[in-house]
Amino acid sequence: MSRTFTLDDLKRILLEGSGAPDGTGLEGDILDADFADIGYDSLALLETASRVEREYGIELDEAVVGEANTPRALLDAISSHLLAQAA
């Protein structure tokens, strides 16, 4: 059985890693918003990837994380890794 990774999971991990007040930059329809536009830089995304790796037991390539410039792209990358892990 594979685990799922949702937008709510991503928001939670982004907030935990950034220490930002709840909801900062993550309100509304953010799936296709650029991370930089919602206040998350490359360092925040690396921290997010690290937290995802620990929590979900997967390994994300830095290039994949670097190329995922929207929440949708990062969700797709994480979901692909989780599906591969389950196979």
Q: What letter does residue 56 receive in the DSSP assignment?
A: H
What percent of the chain clears pLDDT 90, i.e. is strictly above it? Answer: 57
Please tell me the pTM assigned to this model. Answer: 0.86
CA dist., res. 75 & res. 15, Å (int): 15
Check the CA dihedral 67-70-74-77 and report its sign. negative
Give pLDDT tens digits for 27-66: 888 999 999 998 898 888 999 999 999 999 999 988 888 8
